[in-house]
């Protein structure tokens, strides 16, 4: 079983601060997805990264896939209360299809006004 | 499009009861999956299906059955509910991009919160 470890598990910051959350594994993944989940709802995809070293930006969010495709990070600039939620990373198995994802346990982010 | 719908939204069962969690999608997606989400455990795959008539086990399949008679529906059956099955259950669907469906986005339903007493 491929495992994904997310850190930190909990993060509480003030509006306007920057933050980075991490997703690490000892296994290689074919792709890495980041989802955000709000209370009472299902996760929603933010981004997919597929190439080692790849960097993608989504407004104030920057996602990076490690060179060896074993880890990823999510950086949020000038966090806003609307960024509050559970951030989940999910890996597609190397050599396999992405519909059988392995999820990390998530980082619960709270951005205080 | 409604996307992925799940019913019921909440359910309370007694130990030993059986029930079916319903999941339907109207996006003509080939792939459908069931996950459970427990505090501190993330999302764990229970069963998945790559098309009508084809199902397979995920990480935590014990105590659950699935079938896929149509593309749209993927019900999850609890045969004899146990307190350990208290959880939030999510159904998800995704489409094929060819070559085994690499890099697909999974679309999640709103979840069913199940409590087993």
Interval B17-71: pLDDT, tens: 999 999 999 999 989 999 999 987 889 999 999 889 999 999 899 999 999 999 9
Q: What is the pLDDT of residue A95?
A: 62
Q: Which chain B residues have a beta carbon less than 8 Å from that of A99? A: 31, 33, 48, 50, 94, 101, 104, 106
Token pair 């996006």 is at which residue?
Answer: B27
Q: Are A52 and A66 in contact (CB under 8 A)?
A: yes
Q: Which chain B residues have a beta carbon less than 8 Å from that of A106? A: 42
Q: What confidence tier does A96 reach under pLDDT thresholds 50, 70, 90?
A: low
The minimum CA-CA distance between B80 and chain A, rounded to whole Å, is 26
Q: Please tell me the distance from the alpha carbon of residue B2 to that of residue B8, in angstroms, as a whole number.
A: 16
Residue percentage of chain A with pLDDT more than 70: 93
Instruction: Indicate the range of A81-90, A97-106, B29-38, B87-96 predicted with least confidence.
Output: A97-106
Residue percentage of chain B with pLDDT more than 70: 93
Q: What is the pLDDT of residue A99?
A: 61
Q: Are A73 and A21 in contact (CB under 8 A)?
A: yes
Q: How many CB atoms lie within 10 A of CB A90?
A: 23
Q: Which chain B residues have a beta carbon less than 8 Å from that of A105? A: 40-42
């Amino acid at each position: 079983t491929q495992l994904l470890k997310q850190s930190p598990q909990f993060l509480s910051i003030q509006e306007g601060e920057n933050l980075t959350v991490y997703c690490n594994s000892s296994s290689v993944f074919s792709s890495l997805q980041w989802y955000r989940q709000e209370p009472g709802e299902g996760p929603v995809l933010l981004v997919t990264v597929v190439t080692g070293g790849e960097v993608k930006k989504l407004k104030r969010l920057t996602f990076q896939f490690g060179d060896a495709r074993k880890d990823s990070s999510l950086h949020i600039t000038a966090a806003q209360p609307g960024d509050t939620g559970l951030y989940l990373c999910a890996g597609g198995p190397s050599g396999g299809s992405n519909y059988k994802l392995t999820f990390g346990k998530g980082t619960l982010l709270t951005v205080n006004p | 499009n409604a996307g992925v719908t799940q019913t019921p939204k909440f359910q309370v069962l007694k130990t030993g009861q059986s029930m079916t969690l319903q999941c339907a999608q109207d996006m003509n997606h080939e792939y459908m999956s069931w996950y459970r989400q427990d505090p501190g455990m993330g999302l764990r795959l229970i069963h998945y299906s790559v098309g009508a008539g084809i199902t397979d086990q995920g990480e935590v399949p014990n105590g659950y059955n699935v079938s896929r008679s149509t593309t749209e529906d993927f019900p999850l059956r609890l045969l004899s509910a146990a307190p350990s099955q208290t959880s939030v259950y999510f159904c998800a669907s995704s489409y094929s991009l060819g070559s085994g469906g690499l890099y697909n986005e999974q679309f999640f339903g709103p979840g069913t919160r199940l409590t087993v007493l």
